[in-house]
Amino acid sequence: MLRIINVVGARPNFMKIAPVIEEMRRRSSRIEPLLVHTGQHYDESMSDSFFEDLQIPRPDINLGVGSGTHSEQTARIMVEFERVLLEHPADWVVVVGDVNSTMAASIVAAKSLVRVAHVEAGLRSRDRTMPEEINRVVTDSLADLLLTPSRDADDNLLREGVAPHKIRFVGNVMIDTLYRNLERARASQVLDRFGLKPGQFCAMTLHRPSNVDNHETLSGILDALEVIGEQLPVVFPIHPRTRERLDQFGLTERIRKQSSLVLTEPLGYLDFLRLYSNSRLVLTDSGGIQEETTVLGIPCLTLRQNTERPITVTEGTNRVVGNDPAVITREALAALERQASPARVPELWDGHAALRIVDAIEEAS
């Protein structure tokens, strides 16, 4: 019997681990999974309905570490997770993504001589000003099994000297969750709630410090939204960090006066999936949305200088445009004029990554 501790630290991690846990539970005669939530991101919307609506397993253990600086948070996770490993000896620790919890749990497991499997290994932005990039590099250097979502991730790991036998190309597990919930999301009333018609609006997310922590940058993005809004409404679920900065910089009143901007609190997964899957264009600085829009064939502009998911550009519908308002405006208007592309689904983004992930862990045991 394999004992496997699966570690998550934020909402997107739950989306990625859910199909993996489900697959492990199908093999209950051979695998005993445990789900640990570090509490890195405390989210009030992670109520009972969050788990029930998305059929996501509730954590067996919640470390409740809360917020703090990167160093404080990482240290607290390490201290608490070490206690978990002492109380629950395991054969494997599975980590997902690139948050602080991913790196912290990997360090503790490696020092405890417990094998580490990293889901979504090998992604690189090559921008070490991003905390996530540090987390990715450290985690991959420690992992015993590197489960990659795309062929370019394999290439990154090989260039860094990772032994080929440790690398397994399994596909993108986030797409498992997307496919599983597309039909269920159709029951969402979010479009009716905001008076939206499919294909006649733009969806946007914005939260990264490089975009929202500087007054001039954030104000410039609002300039671009005003121009884009002359063509179609822009639906903007505001991240708490972004809302704080808008208040801090005195931009809240300005954004409320933009009649074409539909402001809302952060949406639940099913509502947000219903929203962006029916949009004409997506503006984002998120990672996962670049992947999901690629699968759905929706034009996406990534408001960053780089992406750790280049396959969404080379094979998908994504364009990396940075945060210059003139460039954002130009690319958005061009995207609206172009005919929407048919979905070009990258290799093994087929909804069966979780099966391959669990197969790989069993075969490596």
The one catalytic residue in 37, 88, 165, 207 is: 207
- Mark whether 207 is an active-site residue: yes
The full 3-state SS of the chain, as one line of letters, equals CEEEEEEECCHHHHHHHHHHHHHHHHCCCCEEEEEEECCCCCCCCCCHHHHHHHCCCCCCEECCCCCCCHHHHHHHHHHHHHHHHHHCCCCEEEEECCCHHHHHHHHHHHHCCCEEEEECCCCCCCCCCCHHHHHHHHHHHHCCEEEECCHHHHHHHHHCCCCHHHEEECCCHHHHHHHHHHHHHCCCCHHHHCCCCCCCCEEECCCCHHHHCCHHHHHHHHHHHHHHCCCCCEEEECCHHHHHHHHHCCCHHHHHHCCCEEEECCCCHHHHHHHHCCCCEEEECCCHHHHHHHHHCCCEEECCCCCCCCHHHHCCCEEECCCCHHHHHHHHHHHHHCCCCCCCCCCCCCCCHHHHHHHHHHHHC
Give the catalytic positions in this structure. Answer: 207
